[in-house]
Amino acid sequence: MKWATFRGKPVHKLRKAKSQREAEEYLNQINLIISKTAEHDPATVFGAIKHAEEGRELSPPDSVNLLAEEYRKLHNSYVSLKRTHDRLESDCVQKDRYIAGVDRLHAGELATERSKSERLLKEAKDGYNSDIAMLEQRMKEIEASSENRMALQKNQHDAQIASLKRSHKHREEQLKKDIQSRNRALVARDPFKPINDDEIKAEFSQLVVDVEEWARVEWEFNNSPWTEEVQRELSDAPKRLKKHILLDTIWGVLHDYIFCSPFRMLGQEGETLERHWSEAFPGGTYWTMCL
């Protein structure tokens, strides 16, 4: 059996067998093809032909005719599929060319945009760097100006303080001179004559004598707590006890009005002076004990 195509159409020709043996070989070859095709896909027409031959429903010539008809169908399907495949390949080639062109165009535009972006970025960066440099220079100038201004103000402040100190010192010296001058004027106008040490000594010596005499005098108590009964309970020598009482009283007066404060002997005016003195100098230990 020989297969061929004529003008794109499948044509089959059966060569006449020269002998019965050759005819059987042709049939065996056809059966082998049908068997292999049926084994590959039993659901095809080839499988149906083999099944019909096995059931003695088809003769070998009919099987050959059916096989030829099926081949023609398959060939037509193959031609149609090949044309579709060729058309799809052509479309793919055109699409690949279009994509390549778009890629080239896109690559060019991308390179242009990248170059433009890099240029704009460089310009912006250069502008920012220039602005930063100008700001840093301005900051340095402001700092230098501020330091100079602060130094000038400090010098002016120091000079003003020195001038005020000199003025204060001069004023203080002038006030001291005025106070001394006024004190001398007050002393010159005051008729007070101070008591000298000898007179003070004589007065205290006389006070000792007076204490001795007062201790011998009979006391009038006038509701005083130092009655005779109290004196006898405290001491068997009333004269000595009276002397001690007088000395204690005198020393208490001297302490409170002379030794403890230089102002209390001046009366009401002395109390005012003492109050001012205590407010101005509140930290004296001995002074605190006297209050």
What are the structure tokens assigned to 118, written together?
């890099």
Name the least confident of 72-81, 82-91, 158-167, 270-279: 72-81
Looking at residue 59, its pLDDT comes to 54
DSSP state of 149: H
Confidence bin at 8 (pLDDT 50/70/90) = very low
Answer yes or no: is pLDDT of 81 > 50.
yes
**Does 16 or 113 have the greater pLDDT score?**
113
Q: For 222-234, how does the pLDDT look when each residue is reduced to its tens digit (9 = 90+)?
A: 677 777 777 777 7
At residue 63 the predicted structure's pLDDT band, cuts being 50, 70 and 90, is: low
Examine the pLDDT at 54 and tell me if it is beyond 70: no
Residues 6+ apart with CB under 8 A from 180: none
> What is the DSSP track for 78-137?
HHHHHHHHHHHHHHHHHHHHHHHHHHHHHHHHHHHHHHHHHHHHHHHHHHHHHHHHHHHH
Amino acid identity, residue 191?
A: P
| Residue count (the chain) | 291
pLDDT of residue 30: 63
Residue 31 has what pLDDT?
65
What's the chain's average pLDDT? 76
Q: Is the pLDDT of residue 291 over 70?
A: no
Binned at pLDDT 50, 70 and 90, residue 67 comes out as low
Instruction: Select from 215, 290, 288, 285 the least CA-distant residue to 250.
Output: 215
- Looking at residue 2, its pLDDT comes to 38
Evaluate if residue 3 carries a pLDDT over 50: no
Q: How far apart are the C-alpha atoms of 291 and 144, rounded to whole Å?
A: 62
Q: Which two tokens stand for residue 290?
A: 């006297």
Helix, strand, coil % over all residues of the chain, rounded to 5: 80, 5, 15
Residue 10 has pLDDT above 50, yes or no: no
Q: What pLDDT does residue 290 have? A: 61
What pLDDT, in 10s, does the model give residues 168-210? 999 999 999 998 888 888 777 767 677 888 998 999 899 889 9
